[in-house]
DNA sequence: TTGCAATATATAAACAACTTATATATTAAA
DNA sequence: TTTAATATATAAGTTGTTTATATATTGCAA
């Protein structure tokens, strides 16, 4: 299992990226999708997820649409045009981040001064 | 430039990994090594770095050795046996994290229900 | 010789973010 | 009937980071 503190900074980007590829999703589905994609290695907590969703809504990256499903309220979040712009930028940053992490992790002793 | 909030969770692992490969380093050198390895994409702030170093020292993963260089004090941090155990575990987690991020970022529309 | 950039470490106040616990409510299965 | 799964949400407490600040030396340029 990936410790939650590693996920911290990437949560926002992960949420935006999923909404981009999957279309409108509700919070519960987002956590399940992440578990599915990562084979259970990454799990989001609701205490972290909902504040992020609300924040993205507030800043205009997401809009919500409530739906009634089996007497349960589902709140679907989807990207706004602004959200599409933001997600493109964020993914670019995340790719740079992944690349940088790999360089650091792949460093082997001696090679740096070879 | 990679925004600092992405780096947050990985800072501790990055520091441990560098010390593992490079041997004893002082804080200033750590920030420069990270910049070098990532071609300036990732920059550590001292306000974040020093608290992490002190914390790792406190929990027994690092020890310090002061040295006088050109009348400037340099505090070299190096891994303890415990630190070596910790870094191995952390790198494993970081690799899982990188892999998971890539799966999420590489997801393309339609493929998930193809 | 004055001032700026680079070297080198460190702390504190303010802010942001996450964890944990908690609350609510429905449906299906055991 | 009670447990698990579905579904969203907030608040208190904790942790961690940013920003600003302090200190001090060396080397270079004006």
Report d(CA B29, CA A63) in Å as an integer.
45
Look up the pTM and report it: 0.89
Task: Kindly indicate the confidence band of residue B112, based on its pLDDT and cuts at 50, 70 and 90.
Answer: very low
A51-77 pLDDT, tens digit per residue, is 999 999 999 999 999 888 767 788 999
Using beta carbons and an 8 Å cutoff, which residues of A are at the interface with B?
2-3, 5-10, 13-14, 17-18, 21-22, 34, 37-38, 41-42, 91, 93-105, 107-109, 112
Report d(CA B56, CA B46) in Å as an integer.
15
Report d(CA B80, CA B84) in Å as an integer.
6
The b/e string for A83-108 (b: 16+ C-beta within 10 A; e otherwise) is beebbeebbebbebbbebbebbbebe
Nucleic strand D under 7 Å from the C-beta of B103:
no
Chain A residues in contact with B108 by the CB 8 A cut-off are 21
A9-60 pLDDT, tens digit per residue, is 899 999 999 999 999 999 999 999 999 999 999 999 999 999 999 999 999 9
Report d(CA B94, CA A42) in Å as an integer.
12
Report d(CA A111, CA A21) in Å as an integer.
39
A94 and B5 Cβ atoms separated by less than 8 Å: no
Chain B residues in contact with A21 by the CB 8 A cut-off are 107-109, 112
Nucleic strand C under 7 Å from the C-beta of B75:
yes
Task: Kindly indicate the confidence band of residue B114, based on its pLDDT and cuts at 50, 70 and 90.
Answer: very low
């Amino acid at each position: 299992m990936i410790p939650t503190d590693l996920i911290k900074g990437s949560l926002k980007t992960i949420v935006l990226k999923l909404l981009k590829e999957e279309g409108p999703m509700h919070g519960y589905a987002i956590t399940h999708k992440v578990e599915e994609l990562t084979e259970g290695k990454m799990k989001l907590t609701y205490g972290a997820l909902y504040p992020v969703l609300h924040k993205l809504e507030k800043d205009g990256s997401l809009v919500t649409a409530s739906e009634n499903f089996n007497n349960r309220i589902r709140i679907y979040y989807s990207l706004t045009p602004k959200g599409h712009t933001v997600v493109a930028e964020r993914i670019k940053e995340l790719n740079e981040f992944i690349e940088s992490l790999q360089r650091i992790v792949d460093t082997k002793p001696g090679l740096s001064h070879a």
